[in-house]
Amino acid sequence: MNFQIRYASSELTDPVLAVAEFARQMVPDEPETVIFFCSPDYDLNILGREMQKTFRCPCIGCTSSGQADVESSIAAINKDATGVAR
C-alpha cells in the first residue's frame, strides 16, 4: 500500500478558528480518518466539539507538550476514503 501524508496545522489559539483553519488546508479531500495532536492549552471540550462538527469521520487525537512541534498549535494528518494516507 502506498502512503502519502497530508499535513495541516494551525497556530491560532482559539480552538474554533484553529479547527476551521486546518480543515480548510485539507480541502478538497474528504478524510476517512483524522489523526491530530494539539496543545494542552486549548479548551479540549470546545476543540472536540469542533472536530466532530467539522469532520464526518473518526478523529483520533491527543495533547502534546512540544514533542510533535505543537506547543501552541494543532496539527493533523488524514487518511482519505481511498485508503491512501495524505
pLDDT for position 80: 54
Going 12 to 66 to 27 to 59, the CA torsion angle's sign is negative
Q: Is residue 41 part of a domain?
A: yes
Range of the domain at 45: 6-80
Q: Is residue 86 part of a domain?
A: no
Going 21 to 73 to 15 to 80, the CA torsion angle's sign is positive
pLDDT for position 70: 47
Total domains in the fold of the chain: 1
Q: Tell me the per-residue pLDDT of 3-47, one tens digit each, with 9 for 90 and over.
A: 556 778 888 999 999 999 988 987 766 777 888 888 888 999 999
Q: Is residue 1 part of a domain?
A: no
Helices (H), the chain: 15-26, 44-54
Q: Is residue 85 part of a domain?
A: no
- Is pLDDT above 50 for 86? no
pTM (predicted TM-score) = 0.74
